[in-house]
Structure 1
């Protein structure tokens, strides 16, 4: 048992270095200084972001410190018991070792978040494919699935833009997802999701196949946005609510088009035109960053001779609800027959299998 504890202690020390825990400890001190400033709450949104980042870092750092301390304490106890063997104590040490190993494996998972933006917030957009009400209902099911997943991981979801279907469902919606590693967790959902089921909107109860696109991009901090204003076309319009009615009487909604790429984003759920413009710029910056990352990946795959045809919206996951139940990830091959659990937001196995698959690419 002493050898096993020494091995675990070594793994913990190595992982603490890989995760830059010493650096995070220094970042905490810097944030503490910022939070103690008398004008800290002058900019409430910035203050909230700083507070959330501090709490996330604190949980991460103290968690690893506690784990390392517990293993050291158990190792000292095991060495004492080895001198005077006691079967009850040996059994207790084995039990605690097992628990600490489980805790280590849970925390080691974060090594998989190696991307530059993985620790930050995410912007998640949903778009219904062709198929009318059935596709829009599928899009709303995906929104619910992702929001349930976010809730289970204590991520905060803020609606930035939404277009409801005429009969049911959602045509499109965009959310900001805030929380430590929000982008790291949600990047696995980026792509086209396919549903096969008996449509509740078909009087003849025929089987339908529907598609919806989920876009997941990192939220880029305002001070890091580098976009030439000359490359943008900015339009303002009156924000609309459900059914098309106006939710206010000012032109607060904003649409921004990035002329070189044709990427268009809009935001209407903030109260002012300036807030909507800031949110739209963050979404645009995230999309441009994602486009650059995908371009670099495509270049690497091309060099390896593995580049596939760049079809927009290539399918990443299939959800079959008829004639059998199965959710299968096209990339990782991970699958489960528990479709209800998946649609209720239990995506952790899909996320982990994707991250491990990504490391191997």
Structure 2
């Protein structure tokens, strides 16, 4: 482990020198990438220093115990040795997980698409509940959210809503939310008190940069139309909404949330680029799935991943068998328990696969 950590320390020192060079500072793309690597490696370097300190404490304590001439020093050495031996296995486990190779997409911002599925108006209302849940969670993490497009339901909620989430390690945190979410409850419109089952599909797309996906604008059909949502007379009478159709793939992206036609086109292009990128990523994930069966794959958008049972106040994640009895909390964005457990299972699988340590 120390050999691996020594290599990381060397790379950390190298980046520390690089990020203060004028040519790197002028190259924003490279500067951002190096800063991200610097931050990741810094945490490992700090763990390395703690590991070395504990290792030295153990050696020092053993020397005192072997000498045995000073009873008081021997007693202190025993305590020091016990503390070090308790901490060392914990630290080794922490370092093992930190050494697991991260997916290249994990640091990216995301486009989240929520679509009402089976269940009519109740499915649209549930899609709205999920939208609120994710925006509340994003707020708790200090992330920014921005609606790109929406199609409101007739009784509330959304038939479809697309929004952008930007911040630190957003895709790595939210990618396991992709799939079918199911709700079991008595709808507001139900007069006989019967429990209905409805569903909504969540897609989490890593936001692609221009260098990730090249789009030939000759392959894109651009249509302008009037926004259908709220926003005042000018919004509804001016052709500010934009629809982009990528002819080779058949993918369509649109945006009508911004007042400016230019801004709507930029946002729609972001969605289109992310969908094309996700299409390629899905192929890679399918290839990976052949090599290993992952409990928490982020690639299968048709899989039923979670059920929200209101009558029992229980939210169940079917992939890992986790039950959380805090419906109000979950629907108000308290989903960190699911996030952590899913990441833990995924990391355990990666640990076995990559034999990091």
TM-score interval (norm. to shorter)? 0.7 to 0.9
1:226 maps to which residue?
A: 214
Which TM-score applies when normalising by structure 2? 0.75
Tell me if structure 2 keeps the 8 A contact 1:113–1:119.
no
1:301 is displaced (CA, Å) by 6.2
2:302 maps to which residue?
A: 314
1:191 is displaced (CA, Å) by 1.6
CA RMSD of aligned residues (A): 3.9
- Distance in 2, Cα, partners of 1:132 & 1:100: 55
Tell me if structure 1 keeps the 8 A contact 2:64–2:77.
no
- Distance in 1, Cα, partners of 2:227 & 2:324: 42
Q: Which runs of 5+ in 1 are unaligned?
A: 1-9, 41-46, 305-311
- Distance in 1, Cα, partners of 2:190 & 2:154: 16
Cα deviation per residue 1:72-106 (whole Å; 9 max; x = unaligned)?
12222222222224444543554466557556645
1:119 maps to which residue?
A: 107
Residues 77 and 96 (structure 1 numbering): CA distance in 2 closer, same or farther, change over 3 Å?
closer
1:83 maps to which residue?
A: 63
1:26 is displaced (CA, Å) by 5.3
- Which residue, 64, 69, 83 being the options, matches 2:44? 64
**Bigger Cα Rg:** 2
1:350 is displaced (CA, Å) by 2.8
- Distance in 2, Cα, partners of 1:151 & 1:233: 36
1:318 is displaced (CA, Å) by 3.0
- Which residue, 127, 132, 135 being the options, matches 1:147? 135
Count of equivalent residues: 333
- Distance in 2, Cα, partners of 1:211 & 1:51: 43
- Distance in 2, Cα, partners of 1:288 & 1:95: 53
Residues 303 and 100 (structure 1 numbering): CA distance in 2 closer, same or farther, change over 3 Å?
closer
Residues 61 and 303 (structure 1 numbering): CA distance in 2 closer, same or farther, change over 3 Å?
closer
2:335 maps to which residue?
A: 345
1:334 maps to which residue?
A: 321
Residues 267 and 338 (structure 1 numbering): CA distance in 2 closer, same or farther, change over 3 Å?
same
1:291 maps to which residue?
A: 279
- Which residue, 128, 148, 151 being the options, matches 1:160? 148
- Deviates most, 234-243 or 24-33: 24-33
- Deviates most, 272-281 or 75-84: 272-281
Tell me if structure 1 keeps the 8 A contact 2:57–2:80.
no
Tell me if structure 1 keeps the 8 A contact 2:235–2:259.
no
What secondary structure does 2:249 align onto?
A: coil
